[in-house]
Chain A
Amino acid sequence: MAAEKGEKGAAAKEVAGERMVTLESSDGEEFHMSEAAAQLSTLLRHVIEGGGIDNGIPLPKVAARTLEKVIMYCEKHAKAAAKSDSDPSAAAGSSSDNTAAASEDLEKWDRKLVNGLSQDALFDLIVAADYLVIDGLLDATCRKVADMMKGKTPDEIRKIFNILNDFTKEEEEEMRREYAWAFDD
């Protein structure tokens, strides 16, 4: 055990039999996540496999509150994956039902996670998910933002996301004319 730990490097510490990874947010806060959860991030996976991280993995581009959500997502999905792997698939029919129900629950959990975020938290999570290369999280967060934009006029989008209209009247008029065909209902 000890030899194994030494080989992997200090960043992968064992906590209750599970290998942990230390992450440091942009503001210096330390977070711990299981290595299994960290594997969901392609970036972290490469860093861990590369080894040689002594004092945790610094993430200067991810703030503490965002990192917390990222870890929440990864831990949840890692646990779900572990559970489905170890699920005794005695009867093929029942296990596929369980898998479908489990993945639906996971989707519900994802939706609850993104729905509970403020706009800026959501956007920061998108940026973090992209940086850490966590496809599932990027997908869930982007879908949420896309849902907020679907079917909305430019003015409504501005209001929802509090965006300043920096076009001149002429530019706006030009674009409106160009896309009149798409928007006259």
Chain B
Amino acid sequence: MALNCSSRSLLLSDDCAGMMLGCGCRSEEASPLSSCGVNSLWWDDLELELELEEDEEQESDPVDLLPTDPFGMNLETTFTAAIASCIGDLTVMSGTGCFGSGGDDAFFADLSYYLNQAFVLAPEPWIGGYLGVFDTPFGSGGLSGGGADRFSWLPPSASCLQPSEFMEGLSSSHNAALACRDTVDATPAREGGDAHDGMMFALSYLGMRDILSVEMVCKSLRSAVRNEPFLWKCIHIDSHLGEKISDADLLRLTQKSPGALQCLSLVRCNKITDQGLKAVLQSNMQLTKLGIFGSLLLTHQGLVDNLRSFNMEANIGIKKLRVADLFTASKAQYEELLSLLKIDKGQALHKQEPRILHADCFLPDLRGGYAPDCFLPDLHDEYALDIERCPLCPNYKLVYDCPSEGCNVSRSGICRGCLVCIQRCLQCGRCIDNEYEETFSLDSLCPSCQKDRDSPSAEK
């Protein structure tokens, strides 16, 4: 039972451990400059308990079923003593407003009550302790190296093995940690641990810039980022990064996981040249989807030449191409592009759903790396080429449908044409031929969107 309890304690909140080691060992964590998320979360929980708030998540806490002092360590007294030593160092906690008032005695009384009831915190000192102890049995960086190497986590169902190995290793060393408790208290301030395995799963939810940030955090995360082909299967360079990325940087990014890249999306990559794109294509022969959403230096001829030489050597070839407003194609140019695509049998030539113009497509992405919604789905949509014949002029461009009720949203609707033929509101995509109102910003906005912009309504 002891081992079972210990393995459970491993999974309890690590941030509590920071408070409990006493002697100001983890006072760094408690400082205002440190992880606000870590400490505030723990103290929020403490607040809840102390105020005995009704919260459905807290109602039947199985922690209450834990034995009070399984290892006979007189945790109550030493624990409170540890808190006491921490309190002296911590001024920030009084700022929460919950503990400052009522004096220290009231606080300790409340705390003892909480400790007696919940014992969530009882085994906590070990978390910090044995992670530190771990460096010795496993060697320096053993956890970081081992954890990451074991962690190539796709397909997801296979990944369940790795964490258990991790946990078994930890629980078996727990007894060692137990024996060294005195040493643990006396160890110098530990600046942090390893990244939790669970963090790796979240990487696929990050944009490119954030992935690069994560790569620079620690060795295990760097290894996870570099060794996970799934992250490099589809590279989306948003407009924020696009403005800065050079040919060499782009090539390096696509080479992070050689052979993985299948889908490349470049938004406003104004420094990328035809030569640069050629190098990327030649190094990533398994690419099947290419999206260029805005570029100053890429040319139509360069693109055609690149596609031609790529398709000659690649096994599969480019199946889906998005060129957006890169150029206005003539019939011959459009047909040439189509002929260069390795279109599957049964694959749609063009977008099947109505194409509506949205402001997102033109505004820079300021949110630190996330794709504007209209682009990636467009690239992952199954059709081959985004430009098509405008019903109203002889050009081949992006053709938009109208979301206006009167204009019948469908591909066969009346109000369907390129942006030159039918002026559209940049915000909502409605046609504004006759209601156009010139603004200082020279943005085309329909009257209702103009009103919204001038006086932001409650809707927004």
Q: Which B19-39 residues sit within 8 Å CB-CB of chain A?
A: 29, 33-38
The reply to whether B214 and A130 contact each other, CB–CB distance below 8 Å, is no
Q: Pick from A122, A143, A163, A167: contact of B192, CB below 8 A.
A: A163
Residues of A within 8 A of B164 (CB): 60-61
Q: Which residues of B contact A122 (CB under 8 A)?
A: 198
A146 partner, pick from B14, B35, B41, B205, beta carbons under 8 A: B205
- Let me know if B8 and A63 touch, CB within 8 A: yes
CB of A124 closer than 8 Å to a CB of B: yes
A130 to B333 Cα, complex, angstroms: 48
* Contact B192–A26 (Cβ < 8 Å): no
Interface size class of B (residues with CB under 8 A): 35 or more
- B245 on the A face (CB < 8 A): yes
Point out which of A69, A118, A122 has the most chain B C-beta atoms below 10 A from its C-beta.
A118
Tell whether A82 is near chain B: CB-to-CB under 8 Å: no
Which of B29, B34, B62, B159 has the largest count of A CB atoms less than 10 A from its CB?
A: B62
Interchain CB contact under 8 A, A181 and B244: yes
A-B contact count (CB 8 A): 206
| Nearest-neighbor residue (CB-CB) of B45 within chain A | A118
**Nearest 7 Cβ contacts at the A-B interface:** A123-B198, A151-B368, A146-B205, A145-B202, A126-B198, A131-B160, A164-B192
In the complex, B219 has a CB within 8 A of chain A: yes
17 inter-chain pairs at a CB distance below 8 angstroms, sorted by A residue, are A26-B8, A27-B5, A65-B11, A118-B15, A118-B42, A121-B12, A148-B37, A151-B369, A158-B217, A158-B218, A159-B35, A161-B35, A162-B192, A164-B191, A166-B219, A182-B245, A183-B212
Q: From the candidates A61, A143, A150, A164, name the one contacting B160 in the complex (CB within 8 A).
A: A61
Interface residue ranges, B against A (CB under 8 Å): 1, 4-5, 7-8, 10-16, 18, 29, 33-38, 41-42, 45, 55, 57, 62-63, 65, 127, 141, 144, 153, 156-157, 159-160, 163-164, 167, 190-199, 201-202, 204-210, 212-219, 221-222, 241, 244-246, 249, 252, 367-370
Chain A positions within 8 Å of B63 at CB level? 65
CB neighbours (8 Å) of B190 from chain A are 164
Q: Check A65–B12 contact: CB distance below 8 A.
A: yes
In the complex, what distance in Å separates the CA atom of A120 from the CA atom of B199?
10
Chain A binding surface, main DSSP class: helix
Cα–Cα distance between A162 and B199 once the two chains are bound (Å): 12
CA distance A152 to B436 in the complex (A): 41
Tell me whether B11 and A165 are in contact (CB under 8 A): no
- Chain A positions within 8 Å of B65 at CB level: 29
Is B4 touching A26 in the complex (CB atoms < 8 A)? yes
Nearest A-chain residue to B127, judged by Cβ: A120
- How far, in angstroms, from A153 to B217 measured CA to CA in the complex? 9
Any chain B CB within 8 A of the CB of A50?
Answer: no
Further pairs besides A60-B164, A131-B159, A142-B205: 13, Cβ < 8 Å: A26-B167, A63-B7, A65-B11, A118-B15, A121-B12, A123-B198, A130-B160, A150-B368, A158-B218, A159-B34, A162-B15, A163-B194, A181-B249
- Which A residues are in CB contact (< 8 Å) with B156? 130, 133, 138
Instruction: Please tell me which one of the listed residues B157, B167, B218 contacts residue A166 in the complex, with CB atoms under 8 A apart.
Output: B218
- Counting CB contacts under 8 A, is A1 at the interface? no
Choice from A63, A162, A167 contacting B219 with Cβ under 8 Å = A167
Residue of B nearest to A129 (CB): B201
Q: Return the contact of A160 from the options B13, B37, B144, B197 (Cβ within 8 A).
A: B37
1/0 contact trace for A52-85 toward B, CB 8 Å?
Answer: 0000000011011110110010000000000000
Q: Which of B197, B367, B368 contacts A127 (CB 8 A)?
A: B197
Residues of the A chain whose Cβ atoms lie less than 8 Å from the Cβ of B215: 175
